[in-house]
Structure 1
Amino acid sequence: MNMNTPAIKSAVVLCTGEVMHKRLRPAKNAFRYGVFFIRVPVRDIKDINRMSTPKLFSVNRFNALSFHERDHGDASQPLAQWIDALLKSEGISDADGEIWLQCFPRVFGYVFNPVSFWFCHRQNGELRAVVCEVRNTFGEKHLYLLENGGKLVNGEELQARKIFHVSPFCKVEGNYRFCFMKAQQDLRGQAAQHSLIKHLARIDYEDAEGPLLLTSVSGREQVMSNMQIVRVMLRYPFMTLGVVLRIHVQALRLWIKRVPFFSKPIPPTEELSR
């Protein structure tokens, strides 16, 4: 499927899938677990609550599942205004189509997003840029801008230099390799009017010695309904508090395996890098 074609316009998309993480050295460590996440049409945020949205989901209001603008970008202004200004400050003025923000939602008011992805499209649906909003457990965040000067194609590899502290078991050096893919599988029979849209975001990290970490988050779009919300909350009962708990559990495992520990450096002065 051409990843430059927007998925579902003017409605929040619910996705179910998994997170994968694999460390290659000096001690091997790997895990994967099920998650659910949402994809939010940023330019239509103000209209979402007025649409036929499930009662268990809301925007900027407390609910079983919710999305709050202040959890992303600059809390002092609307998200669409913020991301447009950010892109234009970096010389990108043609990302004037829909912008899909992929992130974990709040579950009963709580959320932690290690990384959120802003997929910035042109009006013709082509993917122009991706902004990765990375956060650590110290309350700090950094933005990585990924673009090639033109249209981003499905599965294209993009790189950024690592300058932001995320884990005490990795130095702040080296590079990230990003890859974003979208695939569509048409269904037959009674479900022929629907399709399965799958999303994959892969982030691999390498230092001077070569590949060190392989990570990905993937998911398949689901119909956003009250019943589906109940199902995913029962299936993944530790979202999103479990995200933080798993971070600390995996850190303990690395410490037990005697993986070298690096103290937290001073955060970068720049908000965004490439």
Structure 2
Amino acid sequence: MHQAATSTAQLCFGKVAHSRLRPAANAFTYGVYFLRLPLRTLGADDFGPRLFSRNRFNFLSFHDRDHGDGQQALLPWIDHLLRSEGITDATGEIWLQTFPRVFGYVFNPVSFWFCHRADGALRAILCEVSNTFGEKHCYLLDSGAAMTLGEEITARKVFHVSPFCATSGTYRFRFVHKGAHTIARIDHDDASGPLLLTSIAGTATALNNRSVLRGFFSYPLMTFGVIVRIHWQALKLFFKRVPFYSKPAPPTKKLSR
């Protein structure tokens, strides 16, 4: 898998899909838009569109403190994390895929850092997962070499996300980028097999005033809708009598692989 041919900020339009298989079936799909940002190319620069800002309030915005440790600049943080995990060849572009803030608000269930080598090959992926309790955990996906398009990588689930899923089992990650189209799949298996099937897919467009307005008016208050939908689906699972799991203490380490 290679990085995009053009290193310009993108706004992607697509959908989130989620399907629970048992003990009670529950599925939903809704439209979203999300960012793909080439962090090395951007550096500390602001964005061009007047309707989209970096670290400032706007219709849509991106705030560096929403990612990483919330204190360091993004590039030094991710470079240090990769080196500390023995990944020294991810010196190419780093694409961050995440939701923007809408009128200053965002909740990102998961953001992806696609870390490339200098030759453009994908070297590692950092999955930055947040829950509604204000906690965050990162899963580092590293096959030890360049990753292959569509390759499935697994990680042991250690972080509490939903009260209707135990903090156990295995995640299966798959990522595909073909031209302007991108899809990320995260499936959760427990001891009995596949339990949750989730994906976020989209088609990239240039980040400009036109695409910002398209996103803003096509999906009004989208990031507020993300958190509302999470609680609405939880209520549906409650009435379907899906077992409830109390929240455990968060992992002592903020990173697993």
TM-score, structure 1 as length reference: 0.92
Match of 2:118 in 1: 123
Match of 1:102 in 2: 97
Query: For residues 12 and 43 of structure 1, what CA distance do their matches in structure 2 show?
Result: 11
Uncovered stretches (5+) of structure 1, i.e. residues with no partner: 185-196
Q: What are the equivalent positions in structure 2 for 1:221-232 lying under 5 Å apart?
A: 221-232=204-215
Match of 2:23 in 1: 26
Match of 1:8 in 2: 6
Which letter maps to 1:37? F
User: Is the counterpart of residue 41 in structure 1 residue 38 in structure 2?
Assistant: yes
Q: What are the equivalent positions in structure 2 for 1:237-248 lying under 5 Å apart?
A: 237-248=220-231
Match of 1:111 in 2: 106
CA shift, 1:4, in A, is 1.1
Which letter maps to 1:243? V
**Correspondence for 1:166 among 151, 161, 181:** 161
**Correspondence for 2:186 among 203, 208, 212:** 203
Query: For residues 5 and 230 of structure 1, what CA distance do their matches in structure 2 show?
Result: 27
Query: For residues 74 and 262 of structure 1, what CA distance do their matches in structure 2 show?
Result: 28
**Correspondence for 2:88 among 93, 100, 111:** 93
CA shift, 1:45, in A, is 3.5
Deviations 1:50-101 (A, max 9, x none): x6x1110111111111111000001221100000000011000000011000
**Correspondence for 1:176 among 171, 174, 178:** 171
CA shift, 1:7, in A, is 4.0
Query: For residues 100 and 183 of structure 1, what CA distance do their matches in structure 2 show?
Result: 15
CA shift, 1:227, in A, is 1.9
Which letter maps to 2:243? P
Query: For residues 224 and 71 of structure 1, what CA distance do their matches in structure 2 show?
Result: 19
Identity among equivalent pairs (%): 61
Uncovered stretches (5+) of structure 2, i.e. residues with no partner: none
CA RMSD for the aligned pairs?
A: 1.1
CA shift, 1:166, in A, is 0.1
Task: Judge conservation of contact 1:45–1:59 (CA < 8 Å) in 2.
Answer: no
Q: Secondary structure at the match of 2:196?
A: strand
User: Is the counterpart of residue 261 in structure 1 residue 244 in structure 2?
Assistant: yes
Deviations 1:120-175 (A, max 9, x none): 00011000000000000000000000010000011000000000000000000100
CA shift, 1:5, in A, is 3.1
CA shift, 1:111, in A, is 0.5
Between the two proteins, the alignment pairs up a number of residues equal to 257
